[in-house]
Amino acid sequence: MSASFRNFLITRIILTIPMVLILMTMVFFIMRILPGDPVRSQLGPRVSEQQANEIRERLGLNRPLAVQYVEFLWDTFTLDFGNALTLGERPIREELSEKLPATVELAVPSMILTAIFGIWLGAYAAEKRKTPQDYGARLFSIAIYSVPVFVLGLIFQIIFAVRFPILPLAGRIDTLLLVNFESPTNFYVLDSIITGNWAALKSCSLHLVLPTLTLGLALSGVYIRLTRVNMIEILQSDFIIAGRARGLPERRLVYRHALRNTFIPILTLIGLQFALLLAGAVLTETTFSWPGLGRYLITRIQLRDYTAVQSTMAVFALMVAIITLAMDVLYGFIDPRIRY
């Protein structure tokens, strides 16, 4: 690791700390300025004032705001979120440890499919500029971006799960396999491989196909257009013209030299969209009954579970900060000029 890259990395890590504090502060105060009493909203108007005060004391809501803020920061960084108000006051950390792996397991392959397909088709459209292939790629990007993700998911369900029942309709794994399924990490695909449960691995993989295809294609439209626009600009640069004058193959110029120089804006978009996916692809998770973090948050909001909503929002903020830091590091790796 060079000295410039090491200094760049240390600087980005240091700058991440105040960003995390700002995000945590926003989550804390937004939850407190929302109208309504979270205790009475959850328990209803019939609860006695004594019972409501006991719950407020247990949640720490009757303490000074500064004390609540410090405790909130400490609980967030130690991942001790307390118990939910609903579902028998189950520890929130246990619920998030089940829902977050499900979202990650869906988001990662979806993002890989989106990036590979969208970037490749965008580069291909730029290479074939003003040809039928280019017009077809642009038309596809507009069409796929215009279709709501839940509509696309329903179309895939009708075709591949109802009309031609070759893929599961919804869920993460077959119900019969889930009874004796060992999942220490809650990453079903990984746990299936670790435990050697090949029937579960097949089931998990098949259940991933439709939601991954839905999310991957739905998000690819913007990558196609972004890659194409940046590639066309790069292909008119002096170093590409010089490469053509030296007789370098066009495909090498396009997919090796020009494509790398378009990655900075593409990486920015990947980081933002991946953070949003980890925050929960709510429509996709709802369409496919996927027990992920986004669906969990919507359920807790509907139940007015104050502690669960606050804790989930804090986890979202931490994930955004971590992904932003990772994108900054990748920027410096791809383009050394950013390190200075």
Task: Pick 33 or 89 by higher pLDDT.
Answer: 33
80 by DSSP, 3-state: which? coil
List for the chain the helix, strand, coil content (%; round to 5): 75, 0, 20
With bands split at pLDDT 50, 70 and 90, how would you rate the model's confidence at 263?
A: confident
- For residue 165 the two structure tokens come to 């029942």
HEC profile for 234-260?
Answer: HHCCHHHHHHHHCCCCHHHHHHHHHCH
Instruction: Identify the structural domains of the chain with CATH numbers, from first to last.
Output: 97-173+207-302 (1.10.3720.10)
| CA atoms lying within 13 Å on the CB side of residue 89 | 5
pLDDT of residue 255: 77
Is residue 256's pLDDT more than 70?
yes
Task: Pick 41 or 250 by higher pLDDT.
Answer: 250
Other Cβ atoms less than 10 A from the Cβ of 203: the count is 23
The most confident of 130-134, 210-214, 250-254, by mean pLDDT: 210-214
With bands split at pLDDT 50, 70 and 90, how would you rate the model's confidence at 208?
A: very high
- Lowest-confidence region among 27-36, 91-100, 234-243: 27-36
Q: How many residues does the structure list for the chain? A: 340
Identify the DSSP state of 83: B
pLDDT of residue 338: 62
Give whole-number Cα distances, 289 to 16, 47, 168, 173, 211, in Å.
35, 34, 11, 11, 10
H/E segment holding residue 276: helix 263-278
Rounded to whole angstroms, how far apart are CA atoms 236 and 258? 10
pLDDT of residue 340: 54
Rounded to whole angstroms, how far apart are CA atoms 313 and 273? 17
Rounded to whole angstroms, how far apart are CA atoms 125 and 255? 12
